[in-house]
Homo-oligomer: A and B are copies of this chain.
Amino acid sequence: VIRAGILITGTEVLSGAVTDRNGPWLSRRLQEAGIEVAHICTVGDRRQDLIATLSMMRRQRLQLIVTSGGLGPTADDLTVAVLADHLGLPLVLDEALRQRIELIVGALARRMPRSREAFDAGNRKQATIPSGAIVLDPVGTAPGLVLDPKGSTADAASASAGPAPIVVVLPGPPRELQPMWADAVGTEPLKRLLAATGAGEIRTMRLFGIPESVLAETLRDAEAAGVQLARLEVTTCQHRGELEITTRVPEGESDAYRHLERFLAERHGEELFSRDGSTVDEQVANLLRGRETIAVAESCTGGMLAARLTDLAGSSEYVLGGIVAYSNEAKVALAGVPAGLIEAHGAVSEEVVRSLAEGARSRLRAGIGAGVTGIAGPGGATDEKPVGLVWIAVAGPGGAVVARRVQLPGGRAEVRERAVTVAMHMLRRALLAASAALSPSP
């Protein structure tokens, strides 16, 4: 097995000011390529901490290290200098690269003449790279690097720290990092490394509606029933109320995986909604596309359901729009909820959520309407209507309206997020039922 470490640098990520998207993204790419990820480590722009993490990764004899960040024009960006030092590679100014960077930042520099000197210093810094490095063309202004120091004259100290890994150095902004990773994969050192992975494959299943402890029991029962779990690397995790089962299937072990899949499908047929790794969002999109249109009217989720439905490219084909009916007045004016209904039952009630779903559908002339109303907290709760109480309804396709009451755990953000997930699953079921009703019986 080829193993890798991911090193995310940047005080902003370490301090919690910015959520790191690169670690998870790189991890998925590496796993898809059959590489096992040992660590994702985030360190600030401090030399000693960078070195400690690099040393740890080398001591573990990881064959690949991917870094993100620390390539900016400012002095607190240390990644390249520390790597060169740690791997025993001399730094050199790559004049051709400097000119390329100058071209890129030139337009910006001309608009701000006062900053000319800052740009020049920054360009020189970004063009100073370890000797022998393969340059990855900048998408923003920072070039990436692939270091393959096997043949180099690493000093004794660093040699004793373990064999030198291939190091891929990428910038921090995700929109620069992602295309540059694709370039890195095309370089000789990575092509060689990837050819050596005994790949196998990663398979994902998803369940909705059972707790993790019940799944754990199912896995034990599967083993007792002869499913060869030991040949697979199975991990389970809970996420926004869903369970995800990720399995690394080594080459030649697909029988064991099929056995596991069958066992789960028999035991949890209702809950196992994805056997191909697709998310509920993708499934709902596929069920809608070319067949139905949708509109939503939401209160406590305040636009999050509409935002999630329009998250996928191409959603304008089937999402007509939505109503954020946060105030009672908006419920009446925009979604056509009768004011008397709110007065009689309260804004968080089965009657109102049904009216929201139907109002969204009829106002926007959609095939399907969805409604959400609930107590996200921390305020607004009563004895009968505690924080986390949410009503969700789906109107159509066809005429019927299905409403469901759930009591969700957590604080405001979690209640809102989970309510959207429940709504997505209700939409999925309604769409599946409608498409089953349409298809000829077997």
- A binding-site residues for B, Cβ under 8 Å: 10-19, 23-28, 31, 37-46, 48-49, 52-53, 55-56, 59-60, 72-74, 76, 105, 108, 112, 114-115, 117-119, 122, 173-175, 204, 211-214, 216-217, 219-220, 235-239, 244, 246, 295-296, 301-307, 309-311, 313-316, 319-327, 329-330, 333-334, 363-365, 377-380, 409-414
Contact = CB atoms under 8 A, between A and B. Distances in A.
A213 B17 contact: no
8 contacts: A13-B24, A14-B37, A14-B39, A16-B31, A175-B414, A302-B311, A304-B307, A323-B323
A380 to B, nearest CB: 7
Contacts of A322: 302-303, 322-324, 326
A363 B330 CA distance: 9
Given A18-B239, A39-B49, A43-B38, A329 B365 contact: yes
A18 B119 contact: no
B31 A380 contact: no
Given A27-B14, A313-B378, A220 B118 contact: yes
Nearest to A109: B213
Contact of A327 (B10, B219, B246, B316): B316
A112 B214 contact: yes
Contact of A74 (B117, B216, B303): B216
Contacts of A108: 211, 213
B313 A11 contact: no
B216 A122 contact: yes
Nearest to A53: B39
A37 B27 contact: no
B74 A246 contact: no
A175 B306 contact: no
Contact of A213 (B23, B39, B73, B175): B73
A327 B320 contact: yes
A37 B44 contact: yes
Contacts of A217: 114-115, 117-118
Listed residue (A26, A27, A302) with the most chain B CB atoms within 10 angstroms of its CB:
A302
| Chain A interface main SS type | mixed
A115 B301 contact: no
A299 to B, nearest CB: 9
A305 B320 CA distance: 17
A235 B16 contact: no
Nearest to A76: B235
Contacts of A37: 14-15, 44
B326 A316 contact: yes
Contact of A321 (B16, B73, B238, B323): B323
Contacts of A214: 112, 115, 118
Listed residue (A118, A325, A414) with the most chain B CB atoms within 10 angstroms of its CB:
A118
Given A43-B39, A235-B45, A306 B324 contact: yes
Nearest to A301: B307
B320 A323 contact: no
Listed residue (A59, A306, A315) with the most chain B CB atoms within 10 angstroms of its CB:
A306
B16 A23 contact: yes
A118 B213 contact: yes
Contacts of A43: 38-39
Contact of A303 (B73, B118, B122, B304): B304
Listed residue (A45, A214, A330, A380) with the most chain B CB atoms within 10 angstroms of its CB:
A330
Nearest to A414: B175
Contact of A334 (B73, B321, B329): B321
Listed residue (A31, A114, A364, A413) with the most chain B CB atoms within 10 angstroms of its CB:
A364
B246 A115 contact: no
Nearest to A233: B11
A43 to B, nearest CB: 5
B23 A42 contact: yes
* For the complex of A and B, 5 pairs with smallest distance between CB atoms: A12-B237, A302-B310, A321-B330, A303-B306, A16-B24
